[in-house]
Amino acid sequence: MVAVPSREEQGSVVESAGSEEWEGLSDSEPTSGVVEVIEHSSEHGLPAPGTRLPDIKCFMGAKIPRDGKADKAKGGAGGNDEDEESETLNLKHDLDLQRLLKESHLLDRANRSGNPGDQRHRAVDLRLQALGSQDSIFRQTKMPIAHRKGIQAKAAARESQRRKEAQENGIVLERASRSSKSLSGKRERGVDVPAVGRFQSGTLKLSQRDIASIQGPPPRGQRKRGVSLRFY
């Protein structure tokens, strides 16, 4: 017969087998008081808080981003701050020289007339015209036609005399500007103004001259001697 072990014997066998396989944690090893510190660092540190703002704007913008390194290299190769300052200074001197040449004729007038305010106004007028002003500030919009014609005739005579003296002295002047408008020419009509007659109080009034210009000369067969055609 085979002897069957009891439950107590089976439990003792299982405990002995488990103790042989798993030893568990033991505090028999001595512990040292030194703490090991591990540092994770690299050469390129984190960017400053304000340096990422241009990158964010470039990313969110609609324009194509440019290479910052290429721009820096191009700027360094093109020139430095001293070159930019010298270019700015030269440009300022060029503008001053151009203004002096344009306003040089006012110096002669200033010597003859002792009114500095008049010369200052004329210099301002020249600068406004250089900026794109159409008319001069000295031009009067309303004046009698005889006065205006006299002023224009005097200005034309003075200009012709100046050009004649320059030609005799061998000085090259600018080309003469021809004005398209003339006072003796036909007056320009508006878009809504009729080409024939006058429109007044909702009525188109035609004179005999207007009717004759519309109808034209009568045929030869209808012409009679001693009879004049009248239009009413």
Q: What is the pLDDT of residues 40-67, one digit of tens each?
A: 766 655 556 656 677 777 777 777 766 6
Residue 221 confidence (pLDDT): 66
More confident residue, 69 or 40: 40
31 pLDDT higher than 70 = no
Largest CA distance in the chain: 178
User: Which residue type is seen at 68?
Assistant: G
Q: Confidence band (pLDDT; 50, 70, 90) for 11?
A: low
Structure tokens of 143? 């004046």
Look over the chain and give the mean of its residue pLDDT values, rounded to a whole number. 73
Phi, psi values for residue 151, rounded to 5° = -65, -45
Task: Yes or no: say if 97 and 114 are a contact pair by the CB < 8 Å rule.
Answer: no
List pLDDT tens digits, range 126-152: 888 888 877 787 777 788 899 989 988
Task: Yes or no: say if 116 and 110 are a contact pair by the CB < 8 Å rule.
Answer: yes
Task: Yes or no: say if 199 and 190 are a contact pair by the CB < 8 Å rule.
Answer: no
Structure tokens of 73? 């290299």
Structure tokens of 32? 């040292």
pTM of full prediction above 0.85: no
Helical (H) or strand (E) element with 204: strand 203-205
Residue 217 confidence (pLDDT): 81
Residue 57 confidence (pLDDT): 78
Query: What is the SS3 assignment for 136?
Result: coil
Task: Yes or no: say if 102 and 126 are a contact pair by the CB < 8 Å rule.
Answer: yes
Q: Please compute the mean of the pLDDT values over residues 117-127 and round it to a whole number.
A: 82
> Tokens 């007038």 sit at which residue?
109
* Distance from chain centroid for Cα 125: 23
